[in-house]
């Protein structure tokens, strides 16, 4: 289970208000896509969900429990670039998260434990289509393969919440489509709650079970930093309706 709740969350940097009084509940197993103009605070929203930033006001809860102050393995993240460790092989990259969790002082497991983790890492690589690349380094992979690796790495700690920050933004359209298919399959298999930031509206509506837009709703021309972004649109109900009509049309042949 992972129900995420933003409870009157605001975020400011100095005098600049970025997000204002966000009240938002994200259901268990929802795939939420967040869209909005550049600088609207989308990444800030994700960074707060990961505990990389703290709300200036309000709180964020997962399953009714305030989130920990530190990034924890219950939340995985994939960025547009640089999610993986360049000096580690593909296999080591996916083993590292669980290794640090199991052996926080040394980051290394031995014997049976290591063998089991290696098998699980190899199975995860097979699942994302990188089974034959375990011994390579990230620089030897294509952009799409690096994002497959980043997703595999994020999933290894079995997160309840997967955060995606423009994960496919740097990929060509063909690779993007293949990644969409993969991420939808993994979302269904792992039953995670997903929050994805994207600039691409068609991507948002293709992947999301719900799409929200964040933007400023108030402007003060004399003090542009005075107001932050709020949730300006929420397309959940519309999406449900469109999906139901689509399913009915398919059922009718
Ligand atoms: P988006 O992801 O929607 O493009 P961001 O969340 O990256 O927007 O940024 C929102 C605003 O917050 C921007 O104006 C940015 O300059 C500001 N901001 C983000 N992080 C910091 C920070 N660490 N210190 C000061 N300002 C920041």
187 shares its domain with 132: no
Mutate to test the pocket of ligand 1, among 13, 22, 199, 227 (most ligand atoms within 8 A of CB): 13
Q: Could you tell me the CA-to-CA distances from 139 to 87, 106, 135, 148, 176 in Å, in that order?
A: 9, 26, 12, 13, 19
| Residue 237 confidence class, pLDDT cut points 50, 70, 90 | low
Asked whether residue 206 carries a pLDDT value surpassing 70, the answer given is: yes
165 shares its domain with 242: yes
Mutate to test the pocket of ligand 1, among 11, 35, 43 (most ligand atoms within 8 A of CB): 43
62 shares its domain with 179: yes
What is the percentage of the chain residues whose pLDDT exceeds 90?
A: 62
15 shares its domain with 39: yes
Q: Is the Cβ atom of 42 under 6 angstroms away from ligand 1?
A: yes
Asked whether residue 15 carries a pLDDT value surpassing 80, the answer given is: yes
Cα of first residue to Cα of last residue in the chain, in angstroms, is: 35
81 shares its domain with 170: yes
Question: Which atom of ligand 1 approaches the CA of 14 most closely?
Answer: 25
Question: Which atom of ligand 1 approaches the CA of 53 most closely?
Answer: 23
| Residue 11 confidence class, pLDDT cut points 50, 70, 90 | very high
129 shares its domain with 198: no
Asked whether residue 130 carries a pLDDT value surpassing 70, the answer given is: yes
Q: Is the Cβ atom of 82 under 6 angstroms away from ligand 1?
A: no
Query: For the chain, what is the domain count?
Result: 2
Q: What's the confidence (pLDDT) of residue 73?
A: 83
- Please answer whether residues 9 and 31 qualify as being in contact, where contact means their C-beta atoms are separated by less than 8 angstroms: no
Q: Which of the listed residues 74, 103, 136 is the one where a domain comes to its end?
A: 136
Q: What's the confidence (pLDDT) of residue 165?
A: 94
74 shares its domain with 163: yes
Q: What's the confidence (pLDDT) of residue 159?
A: 92
Question: What is the domain range of residue 98?
Answer: 88-136
Q: How far apart are CA 41 and CA 104, in angstroms?
A: 33
Q: Is the Cβ atom of 13 under 6 angstroms away from ligand 1?
A: yes
49 shares its domain with 28: yes
Q: What's the confidence (pLDDT) of residue 24?
A: 95
- Over range 23-36, report the average pLDDT: 94
CATH code, 211: 3.40.50.300
Asked whether residue 209 carries a pLDDT value surpassing 80, the answer given is: yes
Q: What's the confidence (pLDDT) of residue 124?
A: 95
pLDDT in tens, 142-165: 999 999 999 999 999 999 999 999
| Residue 109 confidence class, pLDDT cut points 50, 70, 90 | confident
245 shares its domain with 171: yes
132 shares its domain with 104: yes
DSSP string over 16-71: EEEEEEEEEEE-TT-EEEEE--TTSSHHHHHHHHTTSS--SEEEEEETTEEPPSS-
pLDDT in tens, 50-106: 999 999 999 999 999 999 888 888 888 888 887 889 999 999 999 998 988 877 778
Q: How far is the CA of 25 from the centre of ligand 1 (A)?
A: 23
79 shares its domain with 96: no
171 shares its domain with 242: yes
Asked whether residue 208 carries a pLDDT value surpassing 70, the answer given is: yes
Q: What's the confidence (pLDDT) of residue 181?
A: 93
What is the percentage of the chain residues whose pLDDT exceeds 70?
A: 98
- Across the chain, mean pLDDT equals 90
| Residue 179 confidence class, pLDDT cut points 50, 70, 90 | very high
Q: How far is the CA of 165 from the centre of ligand 1 (A)?
A: 14
Q: What's the confidence (pLDDT) of residue 136?
A: 97
Asked whether residue 17 carries a pLDDT value surpassing 90, the answer given is: yes
**Residue of 141, 220, 144, 136 lying closest to 176 (CA atoms):** 144
**Residue of 229, 114, 98 lying closest to 152 (CA atoms):** 98
């Amino acid at each position: 289970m992972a129900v995420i709740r933003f409870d009157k969350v605001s975020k400011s940097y100095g005098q600049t208000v970025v997000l204002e009084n966000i009240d938002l509940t994200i259901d268990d197993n929802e795939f939420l896509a967040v869209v909005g103009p550049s600088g609207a605070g989308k990444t800030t929203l994700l960074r707060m969900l990961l505990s990389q930033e703290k709300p200036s006001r309000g709180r964020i809860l997962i399953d009714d429990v305030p989130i920990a102050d530190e990034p924890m393995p219950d939340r995985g993240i994939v960025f547009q670039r640089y999610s993986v460790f360049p000096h580690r092989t593909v296999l080591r990259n996916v083993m590292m998260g669980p290794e640090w969790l199991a052996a926080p002082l040394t980051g290394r497991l031995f014997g049976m434990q290591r063998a089991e983790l290696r098998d699980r890492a190899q199975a995860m690589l097979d699942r994302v289509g990188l089974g034959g690349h375990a011994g390579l380094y990230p620089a030897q992979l294509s952009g799409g393969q690096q994002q497959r690796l980043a997703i595999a790495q994020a999933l290894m700690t079995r997160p309840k919440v997967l955060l995606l920050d423009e994960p496919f933004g740097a990929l060509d359209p063909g690779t993007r489509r293949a990644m969409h298919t993969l991420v939808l399959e993994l979302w269904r298999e792992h039953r995670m709650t997903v929050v994805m930031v994207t600039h691409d509206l068609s991507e948002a509506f293709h992947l999301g079970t719900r799409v929200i837009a964040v933007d400023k709703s108030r402007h003060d021309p004399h003090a542009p930093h005075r107001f932050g972004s709020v949730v300006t649109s929420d397309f959940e109900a519309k999406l449900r309706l469109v999906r139901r009509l689509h399913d009915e049309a398919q059922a009718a042949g």
